[in-house]
Amino acid sequence: MKRLSTLTLCGSLLLAGGAPGVAADSASVTATSPANAIDAVKAESASLLEQITKSLTGLASQAGTTAGATPAAGDSFVSQLQSLATSIQSGDDAGASGTLQKLMAAKPTDGQLAVLDDVRNNFALLALGRNFDTASSATQSAVGSAITAIKTGNATDIVTSLQGLYSNARLTDTQKELVTGLVGSWNPKLADVATKAGKLRDTAKLFGF
């Protein structure tokens, strides 16, 4: 497994230029059945992983020099970025979603937040594609709806579709943890409720059920 520090940074993905995330591709989103959405995302998995890795590398290399950041805060931010990259590369998507929650809630700068938004969108697609490929047809339909919402970029629709996936599908504990983390990365208030309740694997109350 490659470590984050050894990855090559692509200049076009630096904060100054931004990352070519999902939002940039929204115009190319075409109608597709929920059943086919997972296969489409799986076909893009290598590209999604590459974009995520390069974006995180760029953030990690710049975080320590961000104006106004204290060394301790900078180190913590970089450490979390490295942890996120390692988890994603190793396939620990449930763990990665929890780390992503923390990063989104860590009051990043506007530039950092823009890149993290792209990372979140690309990671959500990657994780949904590789964690639900053998799910039942009903679950795949719910996943397909979430994928479509992420690609169109409407935050309300994204959270609603992920909540629907959580409540209407038969998920494993790991899948529940993943979906909860994804919801929290779009809606920090829901993440706070989950954290205070201490329930990462059984969060029905989080969604009001």
63-112 tens-digit pLDDT: 765 544 444 445 588 999 999 999 999 999 999 999 999 999 888 899 99
The answer to the question of residue 36 being in a domain is: yes
Residue 12 lies in a domain: no
Which tops the pLDDT comparison, 10 or 182?
A: 182
Instruction: Indicate if the pLDDT at residue 114 is higher than 80.
Output: yes
| 17 falls within a domain | no
State the DSSP code for 201: S
Dist. CA 127–CA 97, nearest whole Å:
9
- Count of domains in the chain? 1
Radius of gyration over every alpha carbon of the chain, rounded to an integer in angstroms:
16
Q: Is residue 3 part of a domain?
A: no
Neighbours of 148 (CB within 10 A): 18
- Closest alpha carbon to 127 in 157, 171, 77, 190: 171
In a domain, 66, yes or no: yes
Does the residue 141 lie in any domain?
A: yes
H-helix segments, 34-172: 34-43, 45-63, 71-90, 93-104, 110-131, 137-152, 155-168
Domain residues for 123? Answer: 31-207
The whole-model pTM stands at 0.74
Q: In this structure, is residue 1 part of a structural domain?
A: no
Virtual torsion, Cα 197, 203, 208, 209, nearest 10 deg: -130
